[in-house]
Structure 1
Amino acid sequence: MTPTFVLVHGSNGNGQYFGPLQRELALLGHRSLAVDLPGHGNGGGFSAAYQAQDLAAFAEEPSPLAGVTHADGVAHVVDVVRRAHEHGPVVLAGHSRGGFVLTSVANAVPELLERVVYVSAWCCVDSTAGEYVNGPEYASSALMDVEGLLVGDPAKLGALRMNWRTADPALLATLKRALLADGTDSEFYAFLATLEPDENLDAGTDRAAAGTWGRVPHTYVRLTGDQSIPVALQDRFITEADALTPDNPFDVHSLDSSHLSALLRPAELAGIVAGRVTRLSTSPAG
């Protein structure tokens, strides 16, 4: 039976994030469901002050993510996976920050998952997210240079608030380099328009556990042109995970892509995912 793909978005995103990938999967004969994590989607922090770029007012507005935890996101996705599983196998896939949720869900309900697929996504194994950020593999990330993006006091807001509608040319150039260096300006601005201003402060502390996460077949799609999550960090995740579960290593694929272009032009990505599912369906061992 063909699995349902449950897709988990990255930072400041929502279910619309995966529209192009879902179209490609549908054309290949697969069904998918893109979640909105709690506090995201409709009502995800947009306001008149944000629209008007009244940054003083925007910096003080309450956040829909205040009080929302990583555990809330995990519980939401577990519920989606459980319901989808009633209709057949489930493949859980995520991009970027969505990897935190993937790992926690695979730790929580490995018996409900056929496979987890990380697309240049965080996969904490030996260290915490903060330790990875402070490590040498992350040092080249262009996100280290995005001064001026944050608005307001995160501790007061209970969320990270970003002004994606900035007109600062230097900041926009840095963001394009970090997210879509191989895309057009039009693609870049269109994607920025879909991003929500607020993101959760809590990324959780879960790490991949051999006895739970390690039971689930897992795929990593390396994006070799990614200047947000550098390929060196992606490779560290893979190496550490393979050492954790040497009998169940990552199934690794590489795409020549920035952080976003594999999602905006997803034919190759959909082909990797669909091809892996074909092999799953013909091999009991996965």
Structure 2
Amino acid sequence: MTQPTLILVHGAFANSFSFAPLQAELAFHGVRSAAVDLPGHGFAATFPLGYQAPQDLAQFTSAPGSIRGVTLEDNVQTLAEAAARAKDNGPVVIVAHSRGGATLTAVANAHPELIDHMVYVSAWAPVNLPAAAYNAEPEMAEVDNAALARALAGDPGQLDLLRCNFRQADPEVLDGLKELFCADAGDDEFRLFLNSLQPDENLDAGGQDDRAQAGTWGTIPRTFVRLGEDRSMPPAMQDRLIREGDALTPDNPYRVRTLASSHVGWLIRPAEAAVQLAQIAAEVGGEFS
């Protein structure tokens, strides 16, 4: 069996650090993985001094951020470069979470030759609409983003980025964020997750031209890992994305798996997710024996 490399792609406000527990579990299964930081993420992120305690909100909400002006095209270039490096050593499986799915889709549209299998974990895989437009669809109607809206800091128009104050102590905001992202986690686990996020995210979520294309994206084998307890991307929306992808390329449908997890619970407690991803890696490696 030829060993594939799993390239892990984070979601909004996250970074490669999010995958550390998962990568440890994958290693115990003998699976090779590499977590990437998209531009302006990880050690390239900005953490304004005013973000520290005691917070200086005036400084925090006005400080410039390194992610300003970063585009989906920039994300695509970074992920494509990572995939090309991994491709030198065997098959490539790209695993994208949440907003990272938009980058995976765009890379698959532009560089299908770099990817041997795609895995969307409750991730945006836009087909009929641009990724951002799905937020206005009926499947998202019951998503309560009030806490996330209250966490926003500064003027996105002036900063040219999204900035959130994840280090505030407002109990209503914290309770709302926990409910939205990881209701299945303990309070300490939730706060640790929150403190692993960075305050800034880029504004460019893609557009009309970044929807999945049958002739490129649609030629790559793919899996959708549903998160059955996700409240930020409900299962109904995940299922819609699966249906739309299958309708686009009915001869190459999603292979569907389900984890009993919230949006980030599988990253906090990754044992079962690692088992599922190890199985996918073994299947892909077997195809290249």
Length-normalised TM-score, structure 2: 0.96
Aligned equivalent of 2:176, options 174, 177, 180: 174
Q: Tell me the residue number matched to 2:101.
A: 99
SS of residue matched to 2:157? helix
Which residue of structure 2 lines up, in the alignment, with residue 50 of structure 1? 51
> Helix, strand or coil: the match of 2:63?
coil
Q: Tell me what 2:280 maps to.
A: 276
Q: Distance in 2 between matches of 1:146 and 1:81?
A: 32
1:213 alignment partner, one of 209, 212, 217? 217
The reply on whether 1:134 has 2:148 as its aligned counterpart is no
Please give the alpha-carbon distance, in whole angstroms, between the structure 2 residues aligned to 1:143 and 1:121.
Answer: 17
Shift of 1:277: 2.2
Task: Name which of 185, 190, 207 aligns with 1:183.
Answer: 185
For residues 144 and 212 of structure 1, what CA distance do their matches in structure 2 show? 37
Distance 1:100 1:56 in 2: 33
What letter corresponds to residue 246 of structure 1 in structure 2? P
Deviations 1:236-266 (A, max 9, x none): 1000000001000000001111111111111
How far the C-alpha of 1:129 sits from its partner, in A, is 2.2
- State the Cα distance separating 1:32 from its structure 2 match: 0.7
Q: CA deviation at 1:164?
A: 0.2
User: Contact between 1:147 and 1:171, CA under 8 Å: does it hold in 2?
Assistant: no
1:72-151 matches, cutoff 5 A:
72-151=74-153
Taking structure 1 as reference, are residues 144 and 245 closer, same or farther at Cα in structure 2, changes over 3 Å only? farther
2:15 match? 14
Instruction: Give the Cα separation in 2 of the matches to 1:145 and 1:233.
Output: 20
Unaligned runs of 5+ residues in structure 1 are none
**Alignment length (residue pairs):** 285
Distance 2:97 2:143 in 1: 16
User: Which piece of structure 1 moves more, 128-137 or 159-168?
Assistant: 128-137
Aligned residue type for 2:43: N
Rounded to whole Å, the distance in 1 between the matches of 2:167 and 2:270 is 25
Whether the 8 Å contact between 2:147 and 2:174 is mirrored in structure 1 is no
Q: TM-score, normalised by structure 1?
A: 0.97
Per-residue CA deviations over 1:180-211 (Å, capped at 9, x if unaligned) read: 10110000000111100000100112111100
Deviation sequence 1:115-162 (CA, Å, 0-9, x none): 010001111000112321111001112325533211111011010000
Dislocated runs of 4+, deviation >6 Å: none
Q: For residue 37 of structure 1, what is the aligned residue in structure 2?
A: 38
Matches within 5 A, 1:59-74: 59-74=61-76
What secondary structure is seen at the aligned counterpart in 2 of 1:142?
coil
Question: Deviation per CA, 1:11-56, whole angstroms, max 9, x where unpaired?
Answer: 1111101011111111111111100110111141212111131111
What does 1:230-269 correspond to in 2, within 5 Å?
230-269=234-273
